[in-house]
Structure 1
Amino acid sequence: MRTVQTLRGEIDTAALGTTLMHEHVFVLTPDLLQNYPSGWDEQLGVEDAVERLRRLKALGVDSIVDPTVVGLGRYIPRLLRVAEQLDLNIVAATGLYTYDTLPHQFDFVGPGTVGGGDDPMIEMFVRDITVGIAGTGVKAAFLKCAIDRPGLVPGVERTMRAVARAHRLTGAPITVHTDAHSQSGLVVQEVLSSEGVDLERVVIGHSGDSTDLDYLKRLADAGSLLGMDRFGLDLLLPFEERVATVAALCAAGYAERLVLAHDASCYIDWFPLGAPAEMAPNWHYEHISRDVLPALRERGVSDEQITTMMVANPRRYFEHTEAY
């Protein structure tokens, strides 16, 4: 039996069921939250998250994979308050989210610094996977890092290589936030391959922001899963183009390389309160179930292919977990 760690403990990978592979619950800035808490009510935030996720479960979704890590406000005790009230699996991550610089605590320790030595991020990530996160007992099931329009700047490369090395030590799979417009998924594959990473264990996140089939097929042909994971963010790419791209890839035989999600959250403090719903009214957990899947079926995507993208591929991602 293959298993995966969730907030409610270890489960059989078959129990993941229908899975959204890139959803946040809370995206918060801890320093600001602690010092300027105006607009945030902890109890109401938890209650709202529980209600949103209960509605998602009622639509037939069994699991969400939450890539909220350091840099996005990961706080497991808050997530546990949500998870204990749900019949839905939440899978937690470890890693670090930055587009450029690292937290200052890494300025003088680790590779390329005055202090030198091994990168402390590696041990941190490994501990989250093997022991648990911050004394909660919750173990991370996958690793997360990011690259965006600034490109492979030193802080991004150092984080990516630390993630790769933690992956090799634990077998935990990797998800990478990428900028599809600069085709940074190719950079990710080059760096991770140089660290000996099996690209079949990697999700190239936000690939669905691109309609460039040549670019997407190139990523998939190298072995990676493509995160078609920003449905609802129509400001970045309209609904019709996102759906058409997935349908075209399925028609070309790439369903086994695709995973679906929204990159949505219950609360994100990057925007004024209420702004996400106003600027992107479809950017919520229910959009795929209610709107995207019917649209894909209308364009010839079969139920078997949908099951592949939402059940089989997530399960396979979490089953390749041997260290190597």
Structure 2
Amino acid sequence: MSDALTIRTVLGDIAPGELGVCDAHDHLFLRSALLPGQELDDPVAAVAELRAFAAAGGQAVAQWTPFGLGRRAGRLGEVSRAAGVHVIAATGFHQAAHAGALLTERVAGRLAELFVDELVRGLRNDDDPDAPMGTARAGMIKVAGAFHGLDAHARAVMTAAAEAHHATDAPIGVHLEGGTAALDVLALLCERLDVPPERVILSHLNRSPDARVHRQAAEAGAFLAFDGPSRAHHATDWRLLDALAALCEAGHADRLLLGGDTTTSRARATTGGEGPGMPFLLATLRPRVERELGARVANAVFVENPARAFAARWNGR
């Protein structure tokens, strides 16, 4: 069994040093019952967005769309290759409202098995968990909390994610609803289910700019993802640099990740949407980070930290 750390992309495993400049949380394809008419389902548009990201200096994207939300698993490798950008795909399961009651019922009780299969063997068709697998494998597990807490669904999915993590060493990315319940998530995953905190990525923390919670999560050892500058309706965007600066001053620059979280076609800029889309992360936000926090912090946030957050030993699988 090899102890080498690798990052699992849709085109195969790579060394962490090959990942490069990374958008740590975004979406190339996404279909949600809560976002009717705003699906990301066009491979041509996905390639255009990725190429624009690459033109701004991007080399990798973590695609957090989990099972059941229209990942277009069979097209991810093609899109990655066409744009020349590494793509990390996600297994996992979102809130039931996003996936729909019928699909949730079909996978209930078999989530851990599904997650491990997608990490080790290949991604399944989103509409049919029993369909043959594709060749692209997931490189992370995506789960979701509830608003200011963890409901029964969240606990069940996180328990399955922890089981899959222990079988594979895969990192677990957590959607925090409104940026809340970060400490509840860590209490469940890390204290009760024995997932090492450095294998947990907490997302959307910019939506709840509670500096004390941010600091506690960083002190615990989790990675903190501030994502969503492409979602312009989030009024907390203007606090982002202050939140990052506070964490850097507290000695936690090595815990920070940034992502675009483009979830609707309207949020893309390259295909006629309002934008600003994935390129905004590097064309606008990275220069601000460099100017206000320094080049060393910017390199940590966009290169070094993602390479550590998404690397795994895969337990020989």
TM-score range, shorter chain: 0.7 to 0.9
Alignment CA distance shift 1:203-1:39 (3 Å): closer
- The 3-state SS of whatever aligns with 2:170 is coil
The CA deviation string for residues 143-199 of structure 1, in whole angstroms up to 9 with x for no partner, is 010013273221121111111111111111100000355x31111101102011111
| Aligned equivalent of 1:74, options 34, 52, 71 | 71
Structure with max Cα Rg: 1
Aligned equivalents of 2:70, 2:245: Cα separation in 1: 34
Report how far residue 250 of structure 1 moved. Answer: 1.8
Alignment CA distance shift 1:175-1:154 (3 Å): same
RMSD: 2.8
TM score, norm. by length of structure 2: 0.85
Report how far residue 222 of structure 1 moved. Answer: 0.7
Alignment CA distance shift 1:71-1:148 (3 Å): farther
Partner of 1:114 in structure 2?
none
Aligned equivalents of 1:253, 1:281: Cα separation in 2: 36
Query: Does the 8 Å contact 2:148/2:177 carry over to 1?
Result: no
| Aligned equivalent of 1:284, options 271, 277, 283 | 277
Alignment CA distance shift 1:97-1:157 (3 Å): same
Q: State the number of aligned residues.
A: 299
Report how far residue 51 of structure 1 moved. Answer: 1.6
Report how far residue 103 of structure 1 moved. Answer: 4.2
Query: Does the 8 Å contact 1:243/1:292 carry over to 2?
Result: no
Query: Does the 8 Å contact 1:208/1:226 carry over to 2?
Result: no
Report how far residue 106 of structure 1 moved. Answer: 5.9
- The 3-state SS of whatever aligns with 1:82 is helix
Question: What's the % identity of the aligned pairs?
Answer: 28
Partner of 2:47 in structure 1?
50
Query: Does the 8 Å contact 2:256/2:301 carry over to 1?
Result: yes
Partner of 1:215 in structure 2?
213
TM alignment of 1:184-223, pairs within 5 A: 184-193=181-190, 194-223=192-221
Alignment CA distance shift 1:39-1:262 (3 Å): closer
Aligned equivalents of 1:41, 1:205: Cα separation in 2: 20
| Aligned equivalent of 2:82, options 78, 81, 85 | 85
Query: Does the 8 Å contact 1:209/1:242 carry over to 2?
Result: no
TM score, norm. by length of structure 1: 0.83
Aligned equivalents of 1:178, 1:98: Cα separation in 2: 11
Name which of structure 1's ranges 47-56 and 147-156 shifts more when overlaid on structure 2: 147-156
- The 3-state SS of whatever aligns with 2:257 is strand
Query: Does the 8 Å contact 1:121/1:162 carry over to 2?
Result: yes
Alignment CA distance shift 1:242-1:315 (3 Å): same
- The 3-state SS of whatever aligns with 1:84 is helix
The letter of the residue matching 1:195 is L
| Aligned equivalent of 1:3, options 3, 6, 18 | 6
- Unaligned runs of 5+ residues in structure 1 are 111-118
Report how far residue 240 of structure 1 moved. Answer: 2.4
The CA deviation string for residues 188-240 of structure 1, in whole angstroms up to 9 with x for no partner, is 10110201111111001111223221110011111100011122334223432
Query: Does the 8 Å contact 2:230/2:267 carry over to 1?
Result: no
| Aligned equivalent of 1:252, options 227, 231, 250 | 250
Partner of 1:12 in structure 2?
15
Query: Does the 8 Å contact 2:28/2:46 carry over to 1?
Result: yes
Partner of 1:21 in structure 2?
24
Alignment CA distance shift 1:304-1:105 (3 Å): closer
Partner of 2:58 in structure 1?
61
Query: Does the 8 Å contact 1:175/1:205 carry over to 2?
Result: yes
- Unaligned runs of 5+ residues in structure 2 are 125-132
Query: Does the 8 Å contact 1:71/1:96 carry over to 2?
Result: yes
Alignment CA distance shift 1:130-1:275 (3 Å): closer
Aligned equivalents of 2:154, 2:235: Cα separation in 1: 25
- The 3-state SS of whatever aligns with 2:160 is helix
Partner of 1:125 in structure 2?
115
